[in-house]
Amino acid sequence: MYEKVSQLISRATHPAARRRTRNIHITHKWYKKFSRTTRVLGPGVVTGAADDDPSGIATYSQAGAAYGFGLLWLFPVMFPLLLAVQESCARIGAVTASGLAAILKRHYSKKLLYASVFLVVVANIVNIGADLAAMAAAAQLFLPSLDILTLAIGFALITIVLQITIPYRQYAKILKWLAISLFAYPITALLVGFDWSTVIHHTFVPQFVFDEPIIYIMVGILGTTISPYLFFWNTSEVVENEVATKRIVASSGSGTPRLSRRFMRSIKLDNFAGMSLASITAWFIVVACASVLHSHGVTNIETAADAAKALEPLVQGFPHAGLVAKIIFSVGIIGVGLLAVPVLAGSSSYAISEALGLKEGLYRSFHKAHGFYCIIILAIIAGLGFNLLGIDPIKALLFAAVFNAISTVPLLWMIYRIGNNPTIMGEYRNGHLSNIGVIAAFVVMLIATVVLFISFIPR
C-alpha cells in the first residue's frame, strides 16, 4: 500500500505531470474568461446585429453602388451617436427594471405615451413588411415558381412559431449567433482589395454633394442605423436579462434590480460590442458594394439578384460562382431577417403591452402572457399586409429606413428627458458625454428630416 501511494505521489510531482496540470489550469482559466465574455455579450449584441437588418443591408448596398465611397464619412459621425443613445436606453432599462413605455406611463402624460407608442409601432410595421419582402425576394432566387407574397407568408409563420415556442434563454442564444451571417461582407471587401488610403480619406473627410436622391439615401442610412425599434427593444431586453440572471424577480417595476459597478460596466461593454458590430459591418457593406458594383458601372440595385452580385468575389473561382453568391446572400438576408423581424415585432409588443398594463416579457410563456404574444403575432401579420400594396421589395427597404429616421426625432428627445430625470434614474442619470451624444443624435436626425422635406418642395 505504501509503495502504491509513493508511486502516485511520484507521478503527480513529476515535471511532465506538473506541466500537464499547469496547461490544463491555464486552458480552464482562458475558457472561463471566454465563457464570461460571451455571457456579458447579450442584449446589446443582439440589438447591434438586428440593426443591420435587410432594410439596413439594402440601404448600405444602394449607397455603395450609387455613390461608391462617397458616403463613408457618415459612419464615424453616426457611431458615437448610436453608442450614446443605445447605452442610455440600456441604462434606463437596468436602473428602472422597466421598458420605455412603462416609464412614460408612470412619469409622463398619456399624450406623450400614446404618441411614442404610435410612432414606434407604425415604423416597425413598415419595417417588418419590408424585411419579410426582402427575405421572400432572396428565397425567390431559388424558388422562382413561388410569388413574393406566398414566401413572405411562410417566413412570417416561421418567425411567429419560433418566437412563441422557444424559451427566451435558448432564443437569445439563437439571435446572438445569427449575427455571424453578417461577416460575408467584410470578408468580401477584404478579398476584393481596395485602396486603403482612398477609403480612409472618404471615411474621415466629408464630401458634401446635395441633391434629392443623395439626401434621400443619406436620411435612409441615418434611419436604418439609429432606429426607433432599437430603443424599445434594448431597454426591455436588459430587463429580460436581469430577470434571467435573477437580478430582479419580474419586470415592469414589480422588482428592484440589484445594481453594481461591475454589472453597469458589463452593460456598457455589451452595447459597445453590439454597436461596433453594427457600424463596422455596415461600413464594410458600403465598401464591398462600392468596390464590386460601383467600380464596374452598377449604380442601381433593383433586384435581390443585383444585390447578390456584391458577394461574387467571395466565391470567385468556384464552379457556378454566381449561384454560390446568391446562396450566401440569401442565407445572410434570411438569417438576419429571422433575427430582425422578432426584434421589430417584440419591440412593438413591449411598447403596447406596457402602455395597456398587460403582462409582458419573453421570459414568460405564451399562456402567462398571451396578450404580449398576440400583439407580436398581430404586428407580424400587419407587416405582412404591407406586402399587399405591391411595393418593390428593394424600394420598400429604403423607404422603411427613411420612415425610421422621421419617427426617431421625437423619440430621441423622450430618451434624453428620461435619462436625465432624477426621480427615475437617481444617481445613474446621463453623464455629460451621454447627454452630448443623445442631443447630437436628436439634432442630426432633426436637421436630416427637415432637409429631406425641403428637398421634396418643387422648385
Please report where in the chains the cell 505521489 appears, as a residue: 9
Domain ranges of the chain: 1-40, 43-455
Helix (H, G, I), strand (E, B) or coil at 367: coil
pLDDT at 37: 40
Burial of 48 (0-12, 13-18, 19+ CB in 10 A): buried
pLDDT at 30: 42
Q: What CA–CA distance (Å, rounded) separates 128 from 429?
A: 33
Q: Is the dihedral of CA 444, 445, 446, 447 positive or negative?
A: positive
pLDDT at 18: 52
Q: What is the dihedral of CA 51, 261, 361, 255, to 10 degrees?
A: -160
pLDDT under 70 in the chain at which residues? Answer: 1-42, 49-50, 168-169, 171-172, 175-176, 178-179, 249-255, 459
What b/e readout covers 168-184, taking b as 16+ CB neighbours within 10 angstroms?
beebbeebbebbebbeb
pLDDT at 456: 82
Q: Residue 378's CB: how many other CB atoms inside 10 A?
A: 15
pLDDT at 349: 93
Number of H helices, E strands in the chain: 20, 0
300-332: pLDDT as tens digits: 888 888 888 888 887 777 777 788 888 888 888
The per-residue DSSP string of 76-100 comes to HHHHHHHHHHHHHHHHHHHHHSS-H
Assigned architecture for domain 43-455: Up-down Bundle (1.20)
All three cell numbers of 250: 419580474
Q: Residue 225's CB: how many other CB atoms inside 10 A?
A: 27
User: Would you say 188 and 313 are in contact if contact means Cβ atoms under 8 Å apart?
Assistant: yes
pLDDT at 173: 72
151-189: pLDDT as tens digits: 999 999 999 998 888 876 676 677 667 667 778 888 888
